[in-house]
């Protein structure tokens, strides 16, 4: 059995991949070196056909194999896998996490607008998968309620994984600095750009949480 769980970057894919990788019968990975082109689907920069080809070869090389990989959000439907799902996170938290991890990519009005455009495209792609009835896992539920991870582990068939032993409170891939602790600290133009890019997704999945 092969599976993919995808989403938007900074949505908790590394945490979930690490915990599912406790399995001794399945190979479970996060991202792969071949996926570098998949982070941002900027015009003219993403070879989707090439990305699909090398990723499909990677999956076909294993029988019991899975990835929790945000880079696969645009090609997940065409991969040779048995189960597909998405992981989502409040887009306000995604934006803050990305801002603190990659401040140089975001700062400057042109760069900030570009990042917002890319984030909106990623969120809309994930929403397409949700609309196509892919199973949808909320990162917040996965890290707060062990019973939710029990359901996911059972759905994947990872019978040798004890989800009650997961490190629920531990942060992974977090920045050691805090450039911005709250979106309200951003310039008004930046807050407006984020609002246009993300609020629609928050309204669908996290109503009444957008405060910027």
Please give the pLDDT value at position 181: 85
Report the pLDDT value the prediction gives residue 101, as an integer from 0 to 100: 87
Q: Is residue 42 over pLDDT 70?
A: no
Helix (H, G, I), strand (E, B) or coil at 65: strand
- At 100-132, the pLDDT tens digits run 888 878 876 568 988 999 899 999 999 999 999
Q: DSSP label at 131?
A: H
Cα–Cα distance for residue pair 20/166, rounded to 1 Å = 9
Residues in the chain: 212
Tokens in use for 94?
Answer: 């995604």
Contact at 8 Å (CB) between 183 and 96?
yes
- The residue assigned the tokens 């019978």 is 159
Q: Would you say 149 and 19 are in contact if contact means Cβ atoms under 8 Å apart?
A: yes
**Confidence at 39, pLDDT banded by 50, 70, 90:** very low
Question: What is the band of 38 on the pLDDT scale with cuts at 50, 70, 90?
Answer: very low
Q: Provide the sign of the torsion angle of the four alpha carbons 21, 15, 139, 130, taken in this order.
A: negative
Q: Are 17 and 30 in contact (CB under 8 A)?
A: yes
The rounded distance, in Å, linking the Cα atoms of 143 and 52 is 30
Rounded to the nearest integer, the mean pLDDT of the chain is 88
Phi, psi at residue 51, to the nearest 5°? -60, -45
At 168 the pLDDT is 61
- Taken in order of first residue, the domains within the chain and their CATH numbers are 2-205 (3.40.50.300)
**Residue 80 · residue 2 · CB < 8 Å:** yes
* Measured distance between the N- and C-terminal CA atoms of the chain, rounded to whole angstroms: 43
How many CB atoms are closer than 10 A to CB 165?
10
């Amino acid at each position: 059995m092969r599976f993919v769980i995808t989403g938007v970057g900074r949505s908790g894919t590394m945490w979930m991949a690490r915990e599912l990788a406790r399995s001794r019968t399945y190979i479970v990975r996060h991202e792969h070196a071949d996926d570098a082109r998949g982070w941002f689907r900027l015009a003219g920069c993403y070879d989707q056909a090439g990305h699909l080809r090398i990723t499909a070869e990677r999956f076909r090389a294993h029988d019991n194999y899975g990835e929790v990989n945000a880079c696969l959000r645009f090609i997940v439907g065409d991969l040779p896998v048995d189960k597909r799902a998405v992981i989502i996170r409040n887009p306000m938290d995604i934006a803050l996490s990305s801002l603190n991890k990659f401040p140089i990519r975001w700062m400057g009005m042109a760069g900030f607008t570009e990042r917002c455009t890319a984030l909106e495209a990623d969120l809309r792609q994930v929403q397409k998968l949700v609309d196509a009835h892919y199973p949808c896992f909320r990162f917040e539920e996965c890290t707060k309620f062990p019973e939710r991870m029990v359901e996911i582990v059972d759905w994947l068939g990872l019978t040798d994984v004890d989800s009650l032993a997961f490190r629920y409170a531990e942060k992974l891939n977090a920045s050691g600095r805090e450039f911005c602790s709250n979106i309200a600290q951003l310039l008004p133009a930046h807050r407006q750009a984020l609002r246009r890019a993300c609020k629609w997704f928050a309204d669908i999945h996290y109503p009444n949480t957008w405060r910027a």
